[in-house]
């Protein structure tokens, strides 16, 4: 398998950039440690932020980034700003990722984000995105979604 791990975050609070994990493969140690909530809403659960990318970061073909606190997880590259498919690499690792927004994000904004990790594919991001767009990875995507564990979100 090329795609090894899966996380789905949705907006559950009024915070426009916060996404709490509701489905997870629970298999990507980096996310399991970096995305953990230590205070406020959903303590012990996982979340990330998705928003405008900082202008002082390296790279130029991105407008959005996934972050947690002050840490950059990945900048989101998109070949077409109207597509709901993005790609990137996980900071401090050798891993690539596919990022999938809700289909109607242009009308209602980003309300859900699915992240598919491809371990060891940091240098193959464009090929990974192409294979995802051409549905070559559909079976792997479906398998990861089916195997994903539903995460309990607490209002603490």
- Whether residue 156 is predicted with pLDDT greater than 90 in this model: the reply is no
- Whether residue 58 is predicted with pLDDT greater than 80 in this model: the reply is no
pTM of this structure: 0.93
pLDDT at 141: 97
pLDDT at 59: 59
Region 42-65 average pLDDT? 80
Contact (CB, 8 A) for 117 and 133: no
- Cα distances from 81 to residues 2, 44, 65, 123, in angstroms, run 25, 34, 14, 22
pLDDT at 40: 81
Alpha helices in 2-116 (DSSP H): 29-34, 105-108
Report percent pLDDT > 70 for the chain. 94
30-44, 57-71, 107-121 — most confident range: 107-121
């Amino acid at each position: 398998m090329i795609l090894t791990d899966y996380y789905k975050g949705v907006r559950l609070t009024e915070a426009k950039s916060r996404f709490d994990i509701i489905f997870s493969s629970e298999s990507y140690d980096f996310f399991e440690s970096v995305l953990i909530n230590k205070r406020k809403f959903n303590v012990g659960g996982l979340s990330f932020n998705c928003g405008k990318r900082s202008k002082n970061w390296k790279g130029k073909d991105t407008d959005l980034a996934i972050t947690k606190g002050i840490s950059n997880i990945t900048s989101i590259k998109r070949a077409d700003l109207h597509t709901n498919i993005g790609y990137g690499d996980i900071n401090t690792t050798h891993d690539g990722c596919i990022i999938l927004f809700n289909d109607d994000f242009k009308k209602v904004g980003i309300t859900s984000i699915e992240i598919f990790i491809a371990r060891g594919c940091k240098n193959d991001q464009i090929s990974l995105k192409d294979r995802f767009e051409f549905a070559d990875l559909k079976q792997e995507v479906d398998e990861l979604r089916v195997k994903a564990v539903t995460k309990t979100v607490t209002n603490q």
